[in-house]
Amino acid sequence: MHRLSDRMVFILLACALAITFLLSVRFGAIIISYDDIFSALQKGTSSPSLTLTERIFFDIRLPRAVACVVVGASLAISGVLMQALFRNPIVEPGLIGTSSGAAFGAAFYFVLGSALKFHVSEWTLPAAAFAGGMISTVLVFLLSQNKSSGKSSVTTLLLTGIAVNALCLSGVGLFSYLARDPQARSITFWNLGALSGANWASVSVMGISTIICFLWALRYTRQLNALMMGEEEALFLGVDIRRLKIIIVCINVALVALATAFVGVISFVGLVVPHLLRLTRGSDNRFLLVGSALLGGILLSWADLVARLTLAPAELPIGIVTSLVGVPVFVFLLRRNQYYF
């Protein structure tokens, strides 16, 4: 079954990521040449003699390219975690209400923010979205707890997630209905995702949290492997299931709510990336976690390149690109019928 070793796959992916990153830095509304990049790097960010192109490189292109890698990685990692937790290879990170809750938080901000005098800083929208994502996930988790035993079965978790998702989306719908035109447009665009707003502040927050979550999740890959055989078997192999669930949900919230808070809802990355890796090399979660972090960054960078180049100098929302590519891949995977449910 193994065609390539883990290490070979990682090296190939890392090379592909490096090349992708370079393209992602160079191409956009303005093409930045290698000369510009070199001279900009020699001068440094704070030099007064930076040209306009060099400024664009430092202040717009570079943070955006990093954001693509970080957001792609975090969505893909949480895809792996959710698929392992739900023991179902066709599960998305948004399943337990995180991204729809964030969308609700963002819609709340767009419509009622000015009325409630929320306009404080550039951090208010991400904060509202993050709070929404977190609250809805906690809600899902609490509602799915069995009253008598205090346990939460994965099926209940899934169904509660579907219910809370529907609730949040109807809330978003209500806000869109109440909103004035420009607000409604903001909600719509936010729900399709955009990386154009990336700056160094948001990128560093996301980057640090993604690295911490990744390293944290890496400690639980074997327990997640055991969980593939079911909760009973995992228990027999010494896994404290209740604790594992809480930790995985926490990591997932940190990853998805934060990514969604800064760039909006981006669908299908978390579903498709782990899946492509399963096809190459199997389902060992350690491999999937590292591989998905790399491949997620690659795929989202390409999606963003397509989003900013097709209509340049205007931009397509990236959610449209990921869905257009993601849906056919998803259907293809379903039809291969490799999995039993």
Partner 1 sequence: MIRADHITVSAGSKKLLDDVAVDFQPGKINLIIGPNGAGKSTLIKVLAKQLRPHSGKVFYGNRDIQDVSIPQLAKVRAVLSQNVELAFPLTVKEVVMMGRYPHMDMRPSKIDHDAVREAMQFFDVTEMTDRNYMSLSGGEKQRVHFARVVSQILAANPDEPRYLLLDEPLTFLDVFYQFQFMRKMQELLSGNNLVLVGVVHDLNLAARFASQVALLHQGKLVNCGSPEEVLTKENIKNVYQVEPIVLHMSNVLHVSF
Rounded to a whole number of angstroms, the minimum distance from the CB of residue 162 to partner 1 is 21
Burial environment of residue 20 by CB neighbours within 10 A (0 to 12, 13 to 18, 19 or more): buried
Rounded to a whole number of angstroms, the minimum distance from the CB of residue 179 to partner 1 is 44
283 near partner 1, judged by CB under 8 A: yes
Phi, psi angles (nearest 5°) of residue 25? -75, -35
334 near partner 1, judged by CB under 8 A: no
CA 298 to chain centre: 13
Rounded to a whole number of angstroms, the minimum distance from the CB of residue 4 to partner 1 is 13
Q: 282 and 336 in contact (C-beta within 8 Å)? A: no
Binding mask 73-112 for partner 1 (x = CB under 8 A): --------------xxx-----------------------
Distance CA 155, CA 174 (A): 29
Give the count of alpha carbons within 13 A of 19, CB side only: 7
**Region from 16-24, 53-61, 119-127, 227-235 binding partner 1, contact rule CB under 8 A:** 227-235
**Region from 95-103, 198-206, 278-286, 304-312 binding partner 1, contact rule CB under 8 A:** 278-286
List the one residue out of 73, 92, 84, 83 whose CA is nearest residue 221: 84
Q: How many residues bind partner 1 (CB under 8 A)?
A: 28
223 near partner 1, judged by CB under 8 A: yes
| For partner 1, the closer CB: 129 or 289 | 289
Q: Which residues contact 62 (CB under 8 A, 6 or more apart)?
A: 25
From 20, 191, 202, 225, residue interacting with partner 1 (rule: CB under 8 A): 225
Alpha helices in 269-311 (DSSP H): 269-281, 285-309
**Binding residues for partner 1, per CB under 8 A?**
1-2, 87-89, 222-223, 225-226, 228-230, 232-233, 235-240, 278, 282-284, 338-341
